[in-house]
């Protein structure tokens, strides 16, 4: 669907679509839906042709699925396949789109800002550059739960003063849930301090410390690829990770995507923005239900739906159509 068509069908709905990032991948994703909708495997074939390797085979076998350079194009393609099924079934076009980290690229493809082929090539490169930026085993990420954002930042600063590198807030996911990233020893030090201060700390199984200053070298190289990629303004409003604001010009969009590699994901502010704009229904367009579960915790979100199975797709489709007054 073109950007102009998207603008025409979105109208004033109360629905937002959110697209997940790395960590939502799972072996066999979308297999059930692919049996019913040929557009799923057709989408994977289109993306595979662009990137030069078989994304569907990786998704179904799991071989290489957790390698960042493969994870990112597979997840993006899975999200777009679900988006296309949704539209094919007559699903409501959302008022806003947002994506968590990698998911921002899925949102931009869905909104017509870039082609699927260009996007999978970009995120494949993004994954390679991120992996190369920090030697294996030197970086880490952890979720800090149960502490105020300011306290988590204070603990990071306390450790950073020691001058042994850096650890920073990488993802503001929800109230009382901040992901930190940086040098492994410093991440572990903040985890210990968080526990001493009454919080919880969970090490994340990732090989790349995303959204922190260690990714600055990767961002500098990635910016060059972005400059050579055809990008248009999205046909539906896309909320950017770095500032929780809507992209209003292409130059700013490129800058935000570059900065996204080494700056924090402002997901808490993104979800607050959606609530402030009257969004009441959130649909997670990708494997899993992490973002849908986060949305359910918010006071003004009436319902949140995942889409990654036949039953979930049907439930979301009918519930949103009824809620939006499209069917009785």
pLDDT digits 0-9 by tens, 265-311: 999 999 999 999 999 999 999 999 999 999 999 999 999 999 999 99
- Got the DSSP string for 7-43? HHHHTT-SEEEEE--TT---TTTTHHHHHH-HHHHHH
Distance from C-alpha of 162 to C-alpha of 310, rounded to nearest angstrom: 52
199 secondary structure, DSSP code: -
Catalytic residue among 24, 39, 101, 106: 101
Distance from C-alpha of 218 to C-alpha of 95, rounded to nearest angstrom: 33
Residue-level length of the chain: 328
Q: What pLDDT shows up at residue 327?
A: 62
pLDDT tops 80 at residue 326: no
Q: What pLDDT shows up at residue 125?
A: 96
pLDDT band at 163 (very low <50, low <70, confident <90, very high): low
Is residue 100 annotated as part of the catalytic site, yes or no? no
Q: How many CA atoms lie within 13 A of 114 on its CB side?
A: 26
Is residue 166 annotated as part of the catalytic site, yes or no? no
94 secondary structure, DSSP code: P
Catalytic residue among 24, 48, 210, 211: 211
pLDDT tops 50 at residue 8: no
- pTM score > 0.85 for this model? yes
């Amino acid at each position: 669907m073109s950007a102009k068509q998207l603008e025409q069908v979105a109208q004033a709905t109360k629905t937002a679509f959110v697209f997940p990032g790395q960590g939502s991948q799972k072996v066999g994703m979308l297999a059930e839906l692919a049996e019913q909708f040929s557009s799923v495997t057709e989408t994977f074939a289109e993306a595979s042709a662009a990137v030069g390797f078989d994304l569907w085979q990786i998704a179904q076998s799991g071989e290489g699925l957790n390698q960042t350079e493969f994870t990112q194009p597979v997840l993006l393609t899975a999200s777009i396949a679900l988006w296309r099924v949704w539209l094919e079934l007559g699903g409501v076009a959302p008022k806003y789109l947002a994506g968590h980290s990698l998911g921002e690229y899925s949102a931009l493809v869905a909104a017509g800002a870039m082609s699927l082929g260009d996007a999978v090539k970009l995120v494949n490169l993004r994954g390679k550059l991120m992996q190369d930026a920090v030697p294996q085993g030197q970086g880490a990420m952890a979720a800090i739960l149960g502490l105020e954002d300011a306290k988590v930042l204070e603990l990071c600063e306390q450790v950073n003063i020691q001058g042994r590198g850096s650890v920073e807030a990488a993802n503001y996911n929800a109230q009382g849930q901040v992901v930190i990233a940086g040098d492994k020893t410093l991440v572990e030090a903040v985890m210990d301090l968080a526990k001493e201060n009454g919080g919880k700390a969970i090490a994340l199984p990732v090989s790349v410390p995303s959204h922190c200053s260690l990714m600055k070298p990767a961002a500098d190289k990635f910016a060059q690829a972005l400059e050579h990629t055809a990008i248009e303004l999205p046909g539906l409003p896309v909320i950017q990770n770095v500032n929780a604001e809507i992209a209003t010009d292409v130059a700013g969009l490129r800058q935000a995507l570059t900065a996204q590699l080494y700056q924090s994901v402002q997901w808490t502010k993104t979800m607050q923005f959606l609530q402030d704009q009257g969004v009441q229904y959130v649909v997670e367009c990708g494997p899993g239900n992490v973002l849908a579960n986060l949305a359910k915790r918010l006071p003004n979100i009436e319902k949140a739906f995942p889409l990654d199975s036949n039953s979930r797709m049907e439930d979301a489709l009918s519930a949103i159509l009824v809620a939006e007054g499209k069917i009785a």
